[in-house]
Amino acid sequence: MTNEKQFEIEISTDSKEVPQRLAIIPERTPVKYELEKPDEKLVMTFPNLIIREVICFQLVVIVLALISLFFDAPLEELANLQNTPNPAKAPWYFLGLQELLHIFPPVVAGVLIPLLVLIALIVIPYFDINIKRSGLWNDQPKKTFVIFSSSIFLFFLLMIFFDAFSIAIPTLLIYILAVSPYFIKKENVFINALAHLSLAEWIMTWFVFVSVLLIIIGTYFRGPGWNWVWP
């Protein structure tokens, strides 16, 4: 260690002579650079992962073959412009959308809402609030409660105005779940789990709940003339 370099600190106002170096040390390590736990156990990809993939593929093919043997794909009569079947239903994954089309004007249901959903999904990782994922009630619970409740209330009124009970009621349910950690101070597993969910997670949960519900309604509860029927 005799060869150690000697550094000198030079101070000058001329940046050409003495370039200044600046180091910024963040308070907390950003998520991006958090290191993986070093003690995590590594295994060889071959055969550990490859065998799982092969088995997974085999299972997929077996399950598909069984389903295809016992359930036939639907095929109705030749397309006929003159005769619209009653009710005319889209494929199941679009029935939520069709239900929306029943409720809202087409520009809203067919263009605006899908576009908003798409944009919302795309911005998720760029949405800084969500990166830290603190629970909804972690800081300033009172302020959060007022803003959250009033926006939900406005949304609820809007839905009632459009007679969209199939959206309003699930929204209310999710709202009750979301605010329950604010009122119930008792600690138990369920309430703790709810309290940990961030705003983004609540929105996603709400979105999934409503879309699944709308799809179920569209599939089983809509009869001729798109009227409500019991399955």
Partner 1 sequence: MKILNNLAKTKFWQSVFRTKLPLSTNLDRSLVIFNSLTLHIHPVKVRLRAIKFSYTFYLGMISFFLFFVLIVTGVLLMLYYQPAIPHAYRNMKDLEYVVSNGSFLRNMHRWSAHLMVISVFLHMLRVFYKGAYKPPREFNWIIGIVLLVSTLLLSYTGYLLPYDQLSYWAVTVGTNIVQYIPVAGKEIRFLLLGGNEIGEYTLVRFYVLHCVVLPLVMILLIAFHFWRIRKDGGLL
Partner 2 sequence: MMEKNNSGMKKSNSENKINRRKFLISLGNTATGIVVLGGIGVTFEYLTPNVLLEIPKVFKIGPINSIQPNSVIFEPEQRTFVVREEQGSFYALSAVCTHLGCTTKWNDIGAAGNSAAVISCPCHGSLFNKYGEVLQGPAPRTLDKYRVQLEDDKLVINTGEKVSEDEMILKV
Minimum gap (Å) between residue 37 Cβ and partner 1: 9
Are the C-beta atoms of residues 98 and 90 closer than 8 Å to each other?
yes
Minimum gap (Å) between residue 220 Cβ and partner 2: 16
Measured CA angle at 59 (ends 57, 64), to 5 deg: 100
Residue with tokens 């009621």: 169
User: Which of the listed partners (partner 2, partner 1, none) does 69 bind, with a CB threshold of 5 to 8 Å by partner kind?
Assistant: partner 1
Which among 168, 186, 167, 194 has a CA at the least distance from the CA of 99? 167
Tokens of 176: 């009750």
| 78 sits near partner 1 (criterion: CB under 8 A) | yes
Minimum gap (Å) between residue 73 Cβ and partner 1: 4
Cβ proximity to partner 1, 152 vs 203, nearer residue: 203
User: Which of the listed partners (partner 2, partner 1, none) does 224 bind, with a CB threshold of 5 to 8 Å by partner kind?
Assistant: partner 2
Which member of 75, 143, 187, 227 binds partner 1 (CB under 8 A)? 75
Q: Which span sits near partner 1 by CB under 8 A: 5-13, 60-68, 135-143, 218-226?
A: 60-68
Half-sphere CA count of 200, side-chain side, radius 13 A: 15
Tell me the C-alpha to C-alpha distance, in Å, between residue 124 and each of 39, 111, 195: 31, 20, 21
Name the residues that contact partner 2, by CB under 8 A: 81-88, 98, 101-106, 224-227
